[in-house]
Amino acid sequence: MARSVPVHLEGDRVVVAPTRAQRLAGLIREVSVPLEAITDVQVVPDARRALRGFRAPGLAVPRRTYLGTWRRPGHRELVIAHAGTPALRIELSGTRYTAMVLATGDPAHLAARLRDHRARAQEVVVESDGERLVGTLRLPARRTAPVPAVLLLPGSGPLDRDSDHHRARLGVTRLLAGELAEAGIASLRLDKRGTGASTGDFFRTGFLDTTRDAGAALAALAARPEVDARRIVVAGHSEGAFHAVALAAEHPELAGLVLLAGAAGPAEEVLRYQGRAVVGTLPAPVRALLRLLRIDVPALQRRRIATLRATTADVTGHGPFRTNARWFREFLDADPGPQLGRLALPVLAVTGERDVQVDPADAERIAELTGGESYRAPGVTHLLRRTADAGGPSTYRRQAAEPLADDVVERVVDFVRRVTGRSAAAG
């Protein structure tokens, strides 16, 4: 059995790839975690002394080999190590494991690389309406401070700073932050209220609350000494694009605005579009069943909208069936069109050709309203991934395992570079 485990960095993730023998003996598999999930890194001279808890499941040969999962209340540790030899202990947050103890070929070298990344990904706390919003300020490796920066705003639902949901790690904002850092651009992204490390109750948070939170995040980003406040771009994805437009209307000093899968008109029309478009992406047997039962999905969507508009409480329903009704009422009243028509800053609108949550034609409509740029990405979905199928919500989990579409990333990075360079020259 190999005495060390292959560990390598892939973009903004650390990948632990056990050998076949290690996987079988320890009942473990390959693990990939975001580098930003790392909270501490230590090199321990004897791996045995780094273990915490009890083995379950896995293999342990006393005073020799430790493979598997070690548990204690609230903790779950991946262990691939050997007694009497150095190992790397990596503390984690927000992942399946709370720590990893790994025998690697050169633990000191890997620890130095991981610490270098940690120095460029700083935890940030932003106060908004009495809540503590926690997130990550990602800084480029090579920089001459202050640097340009992007405020990244995620889509709808209980998403954290990475655009991850507890049922699907979508990773949109995390991946964009990594690409921006490679281009020499800082970024800030936050956990929404009631998600990740942020305080608050997600289900009692209104749409307008989220806009205010975005404003607090923008102020916090502009105040950072590492960031040039004259060279800040706001980039919003899906719902985040609504909030991004609102910020741009209030802050004409922004260097630019990026709208990813953003709407050009009323939010209610966005929901109606979804009701029509999503049906076409459903599996054939499901569509056949809907026809057999004479179920009109768009009509159901219209009735649901009417029901939500008639609510008065912040939250309706119980347990897993709760709905953040106030958010829906406020969202249904949102219309970025008038604000878009009054903007006087550079705007880039990007929408995927296979987006079934926002009409792809809205990218061109945004460009017409703002005099900005638009790009309809061929074969790209709402998650900004390229796919050969219809790209509906039923495939989102599979799509999330893929990288963002290269052409989308290139458009965004090129736009941010141009407008922040222009702002610097103007200043």
Coil, helix or strand for 184? Answer: coil
What topology is assigned to 122-426 in CATH?
Rossmann fold (3.40.50)
Neighbours of 335 (CB within 10 A): 17
The pLDDT assigned to 249 comes to: 97
The pLDDT assigned to 56 comes to: 72
The pLDDT assigned to 424 comes to: 56
Domain boundaries, the chain: 7-105, 122-426
Quick one: average pLDDT of 137-148?
84
Least confident of 37-46, 97-106, 202-211, 286-295: 286-295
CB 90 within 8 A of CB 41: yes
Using DSSP bridges, classify how beta strands 347-352 and 373-377 pair: parallel, antiparallel or unpaired: parallel
How would residue 2 be classed by pLDDT, with cut points 50, 70 and 90?
A: very low
Quick one: average pLDDT of 221-228?
96
H-helix or E-strand containing 211? helix 207-223
191 DSSP 8-state letter: P
Least confident of 207-221, 300-314, 405-419: 300-314
How would residue 124 be classed by pLDDT, with cut points 50, 70 and 90?
A: very high
Q: Please give the full DSSP string across 165-209, using - where no structure is assigned.
A: ETTEE--HHHHHHHHHHHTT-EEEEEPPTTSTT--S-GGG--HHH
Buried b (16+ CB within 10 A) or exposed e, 323-332: bbbbbbbbbb
CB 48 within 8 A of CB 13: no
Condensed to tens digits (0 to 9), the pLDDT of residues 266-292 reads: 999 999 998 888 776 777 776 677 677
Share of the chain above pLDDT 90, in %: 50
The pLDDT assigned to 58 comes to: 60
Quick one: average pLDDT of 378-393?
89
Better pLDDT: 29 or 214: 214
